[in-house]
A and B are shown apart, each in its own frame.
Chain A
Amino acid sequence: MSKPYNNKAWFFILPVFACVAFSAILPLMTVVNYSVQDIISPTKSVFVGLEWFRQTMRDSELHDALLRQVIFSLCVLLLQIPLGVALALAMPSKGWKSSAALVILSMPLLIPWNVVGTIWQIFGRADIGLGGHTLSALGVAYNYTASPIDAWLTVLLMDVWHWTPLVALLGFAGLRSIPDAYYQAAQIDGAGRWAVFRYIQLPKMRGVLTIAVLLRFMDSFMIYTEPFVVTGGGPGNSTTFLSQYLTQKAVGQFDLGPAAAFSLIYFLIILLFCFVLYSWMQSAGSGSKSAVETPP
């Protein structure tokens, strides 16, 4: 086997490279540049080395925001992935009912994020909101502007409402790609509903679920708009997540250096989590560690 080598092919990659350079690499490098300097005025800056990184790592407010963020993302994954899979399994697979279910399910995905925030902000209000009013009429002391727990529940519920359909759609696509013969063989093998799910449907959905987990993790870890609209990060700091904290720093206080250092750390955390999740999902279910029978 001999492959033809033609270095001219590199020229075809140049436009893509240029686009990526302008859209991703240059901005990222600007951030790297800011993170090691103290910007005093647009014309004056001082090199400070890793000072901003040290300061950021010691920032206790940031630690709190990071902890909240990790808990939030974990809750999102633990709620949305099983719920999405359950929805995908429950959806009708053929005919107009299937199409109708798909359309209804995708509705929340089509709503702009700040509108989603506004919808829930109003929905939760005790005076005019359907949800908030119903709850107080039932005698539940619900107030997301005063109680941190209520605020958390509202933000979580909103995210579940907004994004579970994505997991369900991905899962549905995964389920539809399973050939009928698998279900037929399972019938003949006497497999029950659970065994069909565990040994056919779940392994065949692994690919799309990996994507779903990564997407949901990244999105929830970077969540900004919706909680900002609903709770503004409050009460207190109880729903202030990482991006909101970062925005406060960069735009509110104009601390460009520390904000840049923070951005880079933020970016690395997301990268690390995604890598861990991805490798874990790739090895899980591939059976490399599964128990194998020993011959008698």
Chain B
Amino acid sequence: MARIEFQGVGHAYSAHPAQPSDYALQPMNMVWEDGGAYALLGPSGCGKSTLLNIISGLLSPSHGQVLFDGKAMNHILPRDRNIAQVFQFPVLYDTMSVFDNLAFPLRNRKVGEKEVRHRVHEIAEMLGMTGQLRQRAAGMPADAKQKISLGRGLVRKDVGAILFDEPLTVIDPHLKWQLRHQLKQIHQQLRLTLIYVTHDQTEALTFADEVVVMTDGKIVQQGGPDALFARPGHTFVGYFIGSPGMNFFPITLAVDDAVEISGQRLAVGAATMAALRAANGKLCLGIRPEFVALAEPGAPGALLADITAVQYLGVCTLLTGAIAGLPVKAKVDSGIRVSAGRHWLRLVRPETIFFCNDERILL
């Protein structure tokens, strides 16, 4: 069991970082609560793996303190931290049987052979691999290999947190669901802190209670799957979560209670208007394609768009086009038959989301 805390933890590979871009991981404060299931979501190279390696101790952060249950861990070796880590590509000791693979961490720690046997069988049962213990690990399919990697982490009694570094990359799609389900069950059974790194939003949203979105070495938003979808805290979150991502329109403020998108007026409430006036810098409006709908021609608040592509996606239809040159995507009911051409669109969501020029959410 472990509550993991970052106090100003950051990492730069160069000795004297001068500007933010020198950091692989921007200095940050963060708490991973004991027993929580977290997903770290972000594009390749955003610092997710760096963060994970700092927790497991494979990397010593250049800045800040890592605490486990309040104890400083910076100078504790990976083997002495109670952490299990599963890597993107399965790591197995090829010459050993499944049993010996699972027993390896215990034997390295000089645990008695009787206890080793007991623990290995307990873990094998949990992973559903009891029948395969005598087999050679090298010849197993990729999903079994990843389970063995996980098992090697779990076999230690003191383990408090499991870290996954994109563990399903090499797994066949039809086995992904099954394996993810199994991982989740194990998490619920053991109540370990679990941190799951991925660049796949579906994986993150289905797996975790809390999703932490990262880009450029910093955390831009942390929250439940619904919050990330409904109230993205940063344009990157809007763009990265959802398929397709959010629409963004640069806006200018009109004299009365309205904003203008490429010259087309959109009425907003007086309170919103006051907040927009108070903000400085460039403003933009973000709206998810799910909340853009077809409208009657000339209806109040409707915008004229050129639809260039219509794709039927089963439950919905995806319209791609432009509002006066600004790209727009809309997801509409697949029952409605639409063809490319000029259409009126309206922004359904009552509380439309605005972003300021630092790309943070404004309201």
**Interface residue tally on B, bucketed by range:** 35 or more
Q: Mark B124-141, 1 if CB is under 8 A from A, else 0.
A: 000000000110101000
B133 touches A185 (CB 8 A): no
Q: Is the C-beta of A109 less than 8 angstroms from some C-beta in chain B?
A: no
A59 within 8 A of B: no
B84, A188: Cβ atoms under 8 Å?
Answer: yes
CB distance from B331 to the nearest CB of A (A): 39
Q: A181-B88, A181-B89, A293-B133 are in contact. Are A188 and B83 (CB under 8 A)?
A: yes
Whether A191 pairs with B104 at a CB distance below 8 angstroms is yes
Distance between Cα atoms of A179 and B94 in the complex (Å): 14
Which residues from chain B contact A190 at a C-beta distance below 8 Å? 79, 105, 108-109
Q: Check A182–B91 contact: CB distance below 8 A.
A: yes
Check A286 for interface membership: any CB of B closer than 8 A: yes
Separation of A200 and B94 alpha carbons in the complex (Å) = 8
Determine whether A184 belongs to the interface, using a CB cutoff of 8 Å to chain B: yes
Quick check: A200 and B93 within 8 Å, CB to CB?
Answer: yes
**How far does the alpha carbon of A293 sit from the alpha carbon of B84 in the complex, in Å?**
24
Q: Does A290 contact B (CB under 8 A)?
A: yes
- Check A95 for interface membership: any CB of B closer than 8 A: no
B153 contact from A182, A188, A287, Cβ within 8 A: A188
Bound complex: CA A293 to CA B100 (Å):
8
Contact A287 B149 (CB under 8 A): no
Taking the complex as formed, is A161 at the interface, i.e. its CB lies under 8 A from any CB of chain B? no
Q: Cα distance A179–B83 when bound, in Å?
A: 21
Query: Contact string, B95-129, partner A, CB cutoff 8 A, digits 1/0?
Result: 11101100111001100000001101100000000
A236 beta carbon closer than 8 Å to chain B: no
Cβ of B91: which chain A residues have Cβ within 8 Å of it? Answer: 179, 181-182, 184-185
**Complex interface: chain B residues within 8 A of A187 (CB):** 57-58, 77-79
What is the minimal beta-carbon distance from A231 to any residue of chain B, in angstroms?
Answer: 42
Q: Are A292 and B134 in contact (CB under 8 A)?
A: yes
Interface contact A296-B79, CB-CB below 8 Å:
no
- How distant is the Cα of A97 from the Cα of B97 in the complex, in angstroms? 38
Contacts of A200 in B (CB 8 A): 93
With an 8 A cutoff between CB atoms, is B87 at the interface? yes
Expressed in whole angstroms, the minimum distance between the Cβ of B41 and any Cβ of chain A is 21
Contact for A287 among B88, B97, B152, CB less than 8 A: B97
Bound form: Cα–Cα A203–B117 in Å: 25
- In the complex with contacts A181-B87, A184-B87, A189-B152 CB distance below 8 A: yes
Residue B60 interfacial (CB < 8 Å)? no
Among B57, B78, B84, the one with the most A-chain Cβ atoms within 10 Å of its Cβ is B78
Contact between B104 and A189, CB atoms less than 8 A apart: yes
Whether, in the assembled complex, A285 has its beta carbon less than 8 Å from a beta carbon of chain B, the answer is yes
Report A-chain residues with C-beta under 8 Å of the C-beta of B103: 293
A207 to B: closest C-beta gap in Å: 12
The answer, yes or no, to whether B56 is at the interface (CB within 8 Å) is yes
Tell whether A195 is near chain B: CB-to-CB under 8 Å.
yes
Q: A287 touching B96 by the CB < 8 A rule?
A: yes
The reply to whether B95 and A295 contact each other, CB–CB distance below 8 Å, is: no
Which A residues, 171 to 210, have Cβ-Cβ distances below 8 Å to chain B? 179, 181-182, 184-185, 187-192, 195, 199-200, 203-204
Q: Could you tell me the distance in whole angstroms from the C-beta of B103 to the nearest C-beta in chain A?
A: 7
- On whether A184 and B85 interact (CB within 8 A), knowing A199-B95, A293-B97, the answer reads yes
In the docked arrangement, what's the CA distance between A296 and B122, Å? 12
Given A293-B100, A295-B121, A295-B133, answer yes or no on A185-B95 (Cβ-Cβ < 8 Å). Answer: no
Q: List, sorted by A's number, 27 A–B pairs whose CB atoms are closer than 8 Å.
A: A179-B91, A181-B89, A184-B85, A184-B87, A185-B149, A187-B79, A188-B83, A188-B84, A188-B85, A189-B79, A189-B108, A199-B95, A200-B93, A203-B95, A204-B94, A286-B95, A286-B138, A287-B94, A287-B96, A287-B97, A287-B136, A292-B97, A292-B99, A293-B97, A293-B117, A295-B121, A296-B121
Which 8 A-B residue pairs are closest in the complex by CB-CB distance?
A: A190-B79, A190-B108, A185-B91, A181-B87, A189-B105, A187-B78, A199-B93, A293-B99
Interface residues of B, Cβ cutoff 8 Å to A = 53, 56-58, 77-79, 83-85, 87-89, 91, 93-97, 99-100, 103-105, 108-109, 117-118, 120-121, 133-134, 136, 138, 149, 152-153
